[in-house]
Amino acid sequence: MGSFLSFVRKETLHIIRDPRTMLVVLLMPIVQMTLFGFAISTEINNIDFAVVAPNRTSAIRQQVERLAANAYFTYKGFISPKETDEVLRRGETDVVVVFADDYDRKTLSSALSPTDGAAIQLVFDASNPNIAAAGAGYLQQVLSVGGPATLIEPEMHLMYNPQMKSAYNFVPGIMGLIFILICAIMTSVSIVREKETGTMEVLLASPVRPIRIILAKMIPYFALSCINLATILLLARYALDVPISGSTAGIVAISLLYLILALALGLFISTIADTQVMAMLISGMVLMLPVIMLSGMVFPIENMPKILQALSTIVPARWYIAAIRKLMIEGVPFAAVLKEFAILSGMTLALIGIALRKFNDKLE
Amino acid sequence: MNRDKVISVKNLSKKFGEFIAVDRISFEVERGEIFGFLGANGAGKTTAMRMLCGLSYPTSGSGTVAGYDIMTQGEEIKRHIGYMSQRFSLYEDLTVWENIRLYAGIYGLNRRQTLRRTVELLDRLQFRSEIRTRVGSLPLGWKQKLAFSVATLHRPEVVFLDEPTGGVDPVTRRQFWELIYEAAAAGTTVFVTTHYMDEAEYCSRVSIMVDGQIRALDTPTLLKQQFAAKSMDEVFRTLARDAKRGE
């Protein structure tokens, strides 16, 4: 046991003696959370609109005022129909709201024939489809409140995230990304570094069991990641106002499991890579892409082609992010994420098994 | 077994697929000897040494190191040997004391032993003032001497040195060999690979490997007589001339 502790102390010293790396590791979650949480936002905040209205009746004025008063829209003034294309092209507005000549008649008459055409037309600059789609949806909602009641009007409730905040989506995603990156890069690089410098051979020629060398390496990084976990949860709760509606214990439990999985992944990478650069490339590129693309962090898994959907099932981040989303945002009890927990446990065990076997083979 | 044979191997072989890295080598090393293990690059000396250290399993053959069977008692062997690899093997970002403490911990020395031996070691190397210095900022020669002292901190029966003086200046090499003599005089067997032929002259006995086999094994004086050569360098070149494996 004494030798094990001297190893943990040694690994801790390695980390402390390299303050730049430690700083990067501790600051990375803060930077990413800030970037994704504030800067990269898919929310629609500031949509400029212009209005085309041949007859400016009081009903139309009322509608325009209501829109202009809305925090999400900025009123740019009335324009003539001919100018529509031009203002959109020049980027002066994002949308042009066109009221029909006979807006009042169309909105008042209860028996409209289908051939009458719409009372309002929305012309969007869809060069950024995200803004166009989200803006169209919201604009429609606002207009329909003051406009004609259609026969079947769906009443929408956006559960769990009524304000459609993108932080709700990104926070679990960032957690899935950061832990994999930090744990896998740091462990794989630190193991490969010892292979490169030759100290690993000396350790292997000593009576210390290889599993202890590895475990001792993982403990300080595990501790560091726990600090990161705390940072992220605090930032999410107090800076980004993401509710932590489920059990905190459940979130922590599944996160710790995910950390162990990421550490095992790092160990596995260290058995493949022979140089630190290689280890960094594998953990950076090979891990990052699937985590971003296939985990549901950015692109919904349900929209993917079947092959990619199948592929996503082997990406651990997918299950972790799904579980965190459920626990954090939906606030389900821990029992509801047992499936994800079981899958992640299985993956962790398998990875540790494969990595240890490969590590021992390498000694041969 | 004979207690005075610290290393004893018979027909030791190692194959990697079709390639025979080490081909049925047999030799014995006695307690307190400085045994030089020579060979060109690729002759198989590192592979042979790794088998003796328990870092690699032999494909066939048998042998004992420090009285333990290399096929079955690798863990016991590791406890009783010291190893210094050809690349510098201490941690550069740790201080002299932290490195010593780490290896003391690995070999299970208790606190009192660790402190006493550390003081001895530092006095021998005249290193006391450097105890809190990071190893990375020491000159290479000092590092090598420190690495050797750390590798023998736990008083191993035999210490394996894999090209320990690579890249070191002649004066430091001389000092390094004084350390080796001291250790051998204290009863530690030294098993050393080198490609400096002047160093081969310092050894009690020398074996020369060519193409995975031991082609010559004797004291430097007798080897020179046998090959009618003036220096070990000439002996080595005579033997290496018919090597089939290139570098």
Q: pLDDT digits over A68-108, tens only?
A: 888 788 888 888 888 888 888 888 888 888 888 887 777 76
Question: Is A206 in contact with B75 (Cβ distance < 8 A)?
Answer: no
In this model, does residue A119 exceed pLDDT 90?
A: no
Say if B98 is an interface residue toward chain A (CB within 8 Å).
yes
B7 strand-pairing partners: B29, B65
Provide CB contacts within 8 A for B150, sequence distance 6+. B90, B99, B100, B103, B121
**3-state percent breakdown (helix, strand, coil) of chain B, nearest 5:** 40, 25, 35
Strands (DSSP E) found in A62-149: 73-78, 95-99, 120-124
Average pLDDT, chain B: 89
The span from the CA of B225 to the CA of A271, in Å, is 49
Q: Tell me the average pLDDT across B20-43.
A: 91
Say if B18 is an interface residue toward chain A (CB within 8 Å).
no
The span from the CA of A236 to the CA of A232, in Å, is 6
Q: How far B33 CA lies from chain A's nearest CA (Å)? A: 21
The fourth-level CATH superfamily of domain A47-146 is: abc type-2 transporter like domain (3.40.1710.10)
Distances (CA, A) of B209 to A6, A188, B25, B159: 39, 37, 9, 20
Does B37 reside within a domain? yes
DSSP A148: P
Strand order in the sheet with A47-52: A73-78, A47-52, A95-99, A120-124
Say if B47 is an interface residue toward chain A (CB within 8 Å).
no
Question: Is A17 in contact with B93 (Cβ distance < 8 A)?
Answer: yes
Q: ipTM value, please give it.
A: 0.85
Q: Which residue is associated with the tokens 């976990």?
A: A229
Does B134 reside within a domain? no
Distances (CA, A) of B44 to B7, B23, B180, B203: 18, 9, 24, 20
The span from the CA of B179 to the CA of B185, in Å, is 10
Q: Tell me the average pLDDT across A156-170.
A: 67
Q: How many separate domains does chain B show?
A: 1
The span from the CA of B216 to the CA of B169, in Å, is 29
In this model, does residue A146 exceed pLDDT 60?
A: no
Q: Residue A3, Cα to own-chain centre: how many angstroms?
A: 42
Q: Which amino acid is at B25?
A: I
Instruction: Judge whether B153 and B112 are in contact, CB under 8 Å.
Output: no
Residues of chain A with CATH 3.40.1710.10: 47-146
Pairing of strands B19-30, B5-16: antiparallel
Looking at chain A, which residue has its C-alpha nearest residue B102? A6
Chain A hits for B158, CB-CB cut-off 8 Å, are none
Question: Is A208 in contact with B106 (Cβ distance < 8 A)?
Answer: yes
CATH code where residue B35 lies: 3.40.50.300
Q: How far B225 CA lies from chain A's nearest CA (Å)? A: 37
Q: How far B150 CA lies from chain A's nearest CA (Å)? A: 11
Q: How far B12 CA lies from chain A's nearest CA (Å)? A: 16
Average pLDDT, chain A: 83
Question: Is B101 in contact with A6 (Cβ distance < 8 A)?
Answer: yes
Does B115 reside within a domain? no
Instruction: Judge whether B35 and B59 are in contact, CB under 8 Å.
Output: no
Looking at chain B, which residue has its C-alpha nearest residue A204? B55
Going by pLDDT thresholds of 50, 70 and 90, the confidence category of residue A164 is low
Question: Is A207 in contact with B106 (Cβ distance < 8 A)?
Answer: yes
Provide CB contacts within 8 A for B142, sequence distance 6+. B125, B127, B130
- Joined tokens for residue B12: 């030791």
Question: Is B107 in contact with A205 (Cβ distance < 8 A)?
Answer: no
Does B148 reside within a domain? no
Q: Tell me the average pLDDT across B117-133.
A: 91
Chain A hits for B113, CB-CB cut-off 8 Å, are none
In this model, does residue B47 exceed pLDDT 70?
A: yes
Question: Is B78 in contact with A207 (Cβ distance < 8 A)?
Answer: yes
Q: Tell me the average pLDDT across B158-176.
A: 87
Strand order in the sheet with B68-69: B19-30, B5-16, B60-65, B68-69
Q: Highest mean pLDDT range out of A114-123, A161-170, A190-199?
A: A190-199
Range of the domain at B226: 5-87+157-240
